[in-house]
A = this chain, B = another copy of it.
Amino acid sequence: MAMRKLKIGLLGCGTVGRGLVELVTRNDSLIRQRTGVELRITQILVRDLEKARPGVDRALLTTQAEKVLNNGCDLVVELVGGIEPARAFIQQSLAGGKHVVTANKALLALDGFSLMKAAENQKVRLGFEASVCGGIPIIRALRNGLVGNNIQSLSGILNGTCNFILTRMTEDGVDFAVALREAQAKGFAEADPTLDVDGHDAAQKLKILAELAFNAQVSAEGIQVEGIRDITADDVQAAGELGYVIKHVATAELVDDALSLRAAPVLLPSPHQLAGVRDENNAVLVRGDAVGEMLFSGKGAGSLPSASAVLSDIVDIACHKGGFPLSDATRLSTAVRDYQSKHYLRFVVESPSAIGPITTILERNGVGVARAAAVWAKSESSQNQVRVLTHAAPQTIIEASLQELARIGVTKTRSIALRVAG
């Protein structure tokens, strides 16, 4: 097997960048043996030359992007993140005939289609396996492994922070705030966790996956997004007693030729394939017309898992010199679907006797009550509640009922409504 050399210019040397340097160094001979490709990182863009970066050769570092972009490398790896200057770096690399590999989920969710078009026009490749679900080769599965399938639905646990928090709430009975602090202490959550816990990170990933799976262009506004801040330990426990697990799930499905997209907490029946995905792990469940239901799960983030995905793109590009064709994405309409499903409702009430008017109004609106429980406050600081598991009902009716109950003063503060999946 003839050995090929690939010169890599690296933009950014944060968590994933250092992971890439570590992996290329550690598994160098293995990769050469498997693929006949010798990888060499020739230059690394950083902001601060003096910062400690164990294992990284300081001679490769530069603070000038131009030095990386114009140094004759074959491929540019963009790991600086954010929109600018990342986009300009990628555009300049593609225009210069260089292949690009990126982990930049925010940029791809915003502008992926035009970047892919630019790559196609230049007959170079744009790899982005690391942008969704870290080390899980889900992009590759959608573009290659399942290429002959008409995809019917795709759903997944795409945000490791939400999943870690909900797992701790489920298994340790702690509240959201406690679990969030633990996630932050372990490095699974940012100091400002908004993007993760409010569902936006999962929505961005869902957009990237849905565009590939359904050959569609999806607008960010077409995705219903809800986070997990309002979920309490009591909710998690009550769900558990009913045989459900609360998970933050992103779903895209084709309903009457319209794509319905949602990233929100739901109750999954305990035997559901996504219900057993614990801690910071991610998982994607894809249903195709030929393969049926297929699950991919593993570590969705982290230095080495993400570096593994970057590396798979690099090797793929090195092995296949030809351009990877871009699909002519069709513009599928995106529809906010009125889900017919069971719901778990939780109301804060003055007195638990509110179970009467609550169930009465729900039933009068056509929302069948499967189970209802009046729950007295356990302590001074907690509140009386009514919890309801409904039969299948449209989400719009559920929401109208919640508003009616608030308007007539039966419920205090914001009530919660979670869809029961499966």
Contact = CB atoms under 8 A, between A and B. Distances in A.
Given A1-B325, A276-B276, A319-B324, A140 B149 contact: no
Interface stretch (A45-53, A104-112, A157-165, A294-302): A294-302
B148 A325 contact: no
A258 interface: no
A327 B311 CA distance: 17
A33 B330 contact: yes
Contacts of A312: 144-148
A295 B292 contact: no
Contacts of A135: 146, 288, 290-292, 294
A382 interface: no
A144 B291 contact: no
Interface string A107-131: 0000000000000100000000100
Nearest to A297: B295
A23 B215 CA distance: 18
B34 A1 contact: no
A31 B149 CA distance: 8
Given A298-B292, A299-B291, A307-B290, A145 B149 contact: no
A307 B148 contact: yes
Contacts of A26: 150, 289
Given A136-B294, A322-B319, A27 B148 contact: yes
Given A36-B325, A291-B308, A292-B299, A315 B27 contact: no
A148 B38 CA distance: 12
A325 B35 contact: yes
A149 B271 contact: no
Interface of A: 1, 19, 23-24, 26-27, 30-31, 33-37, 120, 129, 134-137, 140-141, 144-150, 215, 271, 273, 276, 283, 288-299, 304-305, 307-309, 311-312, 315-316, 319-322, 324-328, 330
16 contacts: A23-B290, A27-B289, A37-B325, A137-B137, A144-B312, A144-B316, A145-B312, A147-B311, A147-B316, A148-B308, A148-B315, A149-B308, A273-B276, A289-B304, A292-B299, A320-B320
